[in-house]
DNA sequence: ATAGGGTTAG
């Protein structure tokens, strides 16, 4: 390139009057150019070439500083290029190290940020106030817990830990790694907290399935506002986390209040907020509201909004509507993501549309160039398995290009339990024992399978090995929102102050059920082991307590919404159908995996779940 | 030049 430098600089000389001797370009001229030029790759390359031609030393830290910074600021950033420029500098400044770490932290491949930091340490360049926030962002993305803990320790030694920015980053980091207790420990000790601090800790709990802590912290945050401490007003980030927590709890009334607040403060135009609202309403079983938010989003609608509604419709048993929405999306020439397609396959599998599922799977690759991931293959296994084509589902697993994981085998085991396929079920179990031993849900599925084919000895053998292995079944609980509160019921719960009345109501329900010709099944063992501890009668399954309580406490004719952490057992499903008819109530139960809209003695899942 | 947000198969 050097040889051609004369020629390269000559094109301007072809134009008449040739300037006799242009001002000799200098390092500073290049730097000035880098700061003022249009921020495009082409412009930066041109300046880089110019620097080479005019023999500016490429190893000069000042040039590297500006060139690396400008390259890192591009999106997408040409990281290999930026890194090559960076590598040429023997003594980069802390600023340049930070720039490089940030570039990786914000890229899809944050791993090399660690290497840059290692080089920084080796070069004896001490970190400054910016280094750890960038580095922790990369480590949070990588969920590199050990490395992050080391950085935490270093920051305590060199004093950087006292900075709010570093503390915020640590809170975020621990939350992203799933260690919300550690996040909270850092949070607790912070003498100074700002909006980002609160958002980070609230999101940390929201990400890790702790919705109640989210609500508590939100209250604390807004209470502190009036008092002495901070000057924090919730923003869009805070409210998205809050809406997430409401969605998880199924707290529709609280979610609606948040919605009203959003309108009041003008945050409803924020597309992330809109998406969170769609998700909230869909996860609370209120499809009309989800649709309304979607329609009102206007230009704020993104592919995520479409995806959220597609998944939401599928979740609520409206697979046909989900697929119709996808067709509209295609007509509008929007480009679906791999998650959109996952939603579409999910819709097919929840509605038994096997052929549609295969068609979409093929189109996903052919038309959209999306490489199917294990999640997509998992959907296909579910699609076949649910439809009773269990052998085909097994062949599908055997032939899929990615290594089947525990979830895939669990899907097959579930299908085997549903369709009484003992041999394949035991084969799936054998793989699960290797891949994810001690998973209580797998014991439940296999036990159901044994019970379904009448192998009671095996049921008891499995039960014993479960006890011996210390495998604890997830206790079932149900949530129901009334007024401003979310009430939680566990199996056989007597802790509620109105326990007495609830159990009286259950008696009354049982009486009316018998009049309708319902007889509790004697093969309860199946249902029993499936979902709740077996000591207590089916009557006291957590959702029955919640339904009885809601019947007592809410106005006649109003819908009852229950959120359950496990799957509804067959007996409760039947009973809830009958209650919806006898008491003329719409009852919406959100299962571990789907919705059941009970109305007039029937369920939206068409008894297929 | 500093930190944070939504959708995902059982």
Q: Categorize the per-residue pLDDT at A17 as very low, low, confident or very high, splitting at 50, 70 and 90.
A: very low
* E strands present in A137-267: none
Phi, psi for residue A482 in degrees, rounded to 5: -135, 130
Q: Comparing A19-166 with A190-405, is the CATH topology the same?
A: yes
> Looking at domain A19-166, which CATH architecture does it have?
Alpha Horseshoe (1.25)
Cα A437 to Cα A59, A441, A573, distances in angstroms: 54, 11, 30
What kind of fold does domain A190-405 have according to CATH?
Answer: 1.25.40
Chain centroid to CA A497: how far?
36
Taking residues A11-26, report their average pLDDT.
46
DSSP 8-state assignment for residue A495: -
A76 preceded by a cis bond (ω within 30 of 0): yes
Tens of pLDDT, residues A146-182 = 999 999 999 999 999 999 999 999 999 999 999 999 9
SS3 A247: helix
Neighbours of A206 (CB within 10 A): 25
**Parallel, antiparallel, or unpaired for β A587-590 and A485-490?**
unpaired
Tens of pLDDT, residues A103-145 = 999 998 899 999 999 999 999 999 999 999 999 999 999 999 9
Q: How far apart are CA A531 and CA A468, in angstroms?
A: 20
State the pLDDT at residue A12: 43
Each domain of chain A, given as residue ranges in start order, spans: 19-166, 190-405, 478-603
State the pLDDT at residue A215: 85
Cα A282 to Cα A42, A291, A351, A560, distances in angstroms: 45, 9, 17, 16
How many Å does it take to go from CA A77 to C1' B2?
19
The residue whose CA lies nearest the C1' of nucleotide B8 is A339
State the pLDDT at residue A74: 86
Question: Encoding tokens for residue A401?
Answer: 């290009």
Exposed/middle/buried for residue A520 (C-beta within 10 Å: 0-12, 13-18, 19+): middle
Chain centroid to CA A398: how far?
28
Mean pLDDT, chain A, rounded, equals 85
Contact, A179 CB vs strand B, < 7 Å: no
Q: Which nucleotide is nearest to A194 (CA to C1')?
A: B3
Contact, A270 CB vs strand B, < 7 Å: yes
User: Which bases in strand B are touched by protein, i.e. have an atom under 7 Å from a CB?
Assistant: 1-10
3-state helix/strand/coil string of A291-341: HHHHHHCHHHCCHHHHHHHHHHHHHCCCHHHHHHHHHHHHHCCCCCCHHHH
State the pLDDT at residue A494: 77
Q: How far apart are CA A579 and CA A567, in angstroms?
A: 18
SS3 A483: coil
Contact, A208 CB vs strand B, < 7 Å: no
Q: Which nucleotide is nearest to A236 (CA to C1')?
A: B5
Among residues A398, A436, A368, A367, the alpha carbon closest in space to that of A380 is found at A398
Phi, psi for residue A48 in degrees, rounded to 5: -60, -50
State the pLDDT at residue A139: 94
The residue whose CA lies nearest the C1' of nucleotide B2 is A130
The residue whose CA lies nearest the C1' of nucleotide B5 is A237
State the pLDDT at residue A230: 56
Q: Are A538 and A516 in contact (CB under 8 A)?
A: no
Q: Which of residues 312-351 of A touch strand B (CB under 7 A)?
A: 337, 339-340, 342-343, 346, 349-350
């Amino acid at each position: 390139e050097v040889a051609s430098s004369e020629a390269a600089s000559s094109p301007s000389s072809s134009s008449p009057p040739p300037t006799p001797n242009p001002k000799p370009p200098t390092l500073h001229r290049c730097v000035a150019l880098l700061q003022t030029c249009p921020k495009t790759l082409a412009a930066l390359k041109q300046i880089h070439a110019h620097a080479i031609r005019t023999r500016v030393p490429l190893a000069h830290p000042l040039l590297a500083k500006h060139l690396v910074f400008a390259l890192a600021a591009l999106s997408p950033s040409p990281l290999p290029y930026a890194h090559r420029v960076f590598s040429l500098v023997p003594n980069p400044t802390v600023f340049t190290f930070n720039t490089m770490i940030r570039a990786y932290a914000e890229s899809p491949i944050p791993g090399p940020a660690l290497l840059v930091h290692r080089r920084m340490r080796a070069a004896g360049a001490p970190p400054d106030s910016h280094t750890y926030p960038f580095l922790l962002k990369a480590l949070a993305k990588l969920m590199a817990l050990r490395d992050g803990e080391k950085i935490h320790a270093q920051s305590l030694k060199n004093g950087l830990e006292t900075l709010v920015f570093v503390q915020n980053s640590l809170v975020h980091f621990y939350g992203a790694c799933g260690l919300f207790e550690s996040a909270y420990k850092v949070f607790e000790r912070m003498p100074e907290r700002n909006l980002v601090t609160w958002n980070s800790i609230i999101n940390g709990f929201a990400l890790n399935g702790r919705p109640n802590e989210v609500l508590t912290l939100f209250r604390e945050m807004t209470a502190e506002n009036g008092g002495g401490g901070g000057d924090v007003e919730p923003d869009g980030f805070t409210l998205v986390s809050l809406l997430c927590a409401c969605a998880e709890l199924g707290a529709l009334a609280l979610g609606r209040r948040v919605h009203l607040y959003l309108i009041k403060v003008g945050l409803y135009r924020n597309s992330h907020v809109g998406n969170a609202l769609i998700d909230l309403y869909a996860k609370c079983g209120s499809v009309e509201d989800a649709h309304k938010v979607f329609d009102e989003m206007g230009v704020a609608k993104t592919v995520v909004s479409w995806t959220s509604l597609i998944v939401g419709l599928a979740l609520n048993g409206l697979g046909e509507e989900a697929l119709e929405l996808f067709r509209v999306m295609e007509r509008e020439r929007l480009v679906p993501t791999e998650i959109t397609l996952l939603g579409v396959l999910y819709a097919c599998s929840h509605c038994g549309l096997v052929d549609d599922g295969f068609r979409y799977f093929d189109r996903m690759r052919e038309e959209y160039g999306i490489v199917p991931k294990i999640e997509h293959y998992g959907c296909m296994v579910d699609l076949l398995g649910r439809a009773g084509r269990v052998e085909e589902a097994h062949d599908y697993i055997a032939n899929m290009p990615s290594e089947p994981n525990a979830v895939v085998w669990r899907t097959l085991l579930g299908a085997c339990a549903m369709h009484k396929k003992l041999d394949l079920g035991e084969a799936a179990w054998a793989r699960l024992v290797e891949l994810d031993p001690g998973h209580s849900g797998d014991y439940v599925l296999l036990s159901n399978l044994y019970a379904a084919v009448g192998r009671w000895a095996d049921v008891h053998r499995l039960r014993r090995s479960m006890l011996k292995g210390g495998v604890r079944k997830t206790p079932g609980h149900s949530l129901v929102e009334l007024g401003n509160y979310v009430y939680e019921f566990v199996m056989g719960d007597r802790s509620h102050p109105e326990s007495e009345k609830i159990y009286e109501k259950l008696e009354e329900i049982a009486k009316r059920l018998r009049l309708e010709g319902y007889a509790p099944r004697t093969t309860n063992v199946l249902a029993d082991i499936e979902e709740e501890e077996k000591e207590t009668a089916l009557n006291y399954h957590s959702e029955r307590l919640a339904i009885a309580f809601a019947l007592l406490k809410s106005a006649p004719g109003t819908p009852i919404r229950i959120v359950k952490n496990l799957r509804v057992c067959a007996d409760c499903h039947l009973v809830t159908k009958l209650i919806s008819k006898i008491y003329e109530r719409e009852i919406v139960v959100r299962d571990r995996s789907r919705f059941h809209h009970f109305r007039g003695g029937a369920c939206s899942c068409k008894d297929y779940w």
